Amino acid sequence: MKKHGATEGKRNHIKKTNADRRKEHLGTSDQAIITARRRLMSLARDLQNGVEPFPATHGNIYRVRAMDVNTALDNYDAVIAEHGDGL
């Protein structure tokens, strides 16, 4: 006979709510969080006014590839000229 744990068969439901950000105390070290939230709010307001976010219509901006090269060259343009063909 198969034994079942106490929580098996039960479904865990997570209540999705918005956090009350008014009670937060963000400091200077949280500048990235503050900036990201302001940017998201600005984009949301623009979208409500019918202005689509730039990245939504310009997917080519995400076509950035990393390059890992060990070289004695100290000039960025020279490195790209020598190793940039595979990019």
- Structure confidence at residue 31 (pLDDT): 92
pLDDT of residue 41: 92
Residue 2: is its pLDDT beyond 60?
Answer: no
Tokens of 81: 């000229």
What predicted TM-score, i.e. pTM, was given to this entire model? 0.45
Is the pLDDT at 85 greater than 80, yes or no?
no
- Maximum CA pair distance of the chain? 72
* Boundaries of every domain in the chain: 21-86
Q: How far apart are CA 67 and CA 78, in angstroms?
A: 14
Looking at the predicted structure, is the pLDDT value of residue 9 above 70?
A: no
Question: pLDDT tens, 15-72?
Answer: 667 777 778 888 888 999 999 999 999 999 999 999 998 888 888 888 777 777 788 8
- Determine the Cα–Cα distance for residues 87 and 78; give it in Å rounded to an integer: 15
First to last CA, the chain: 60
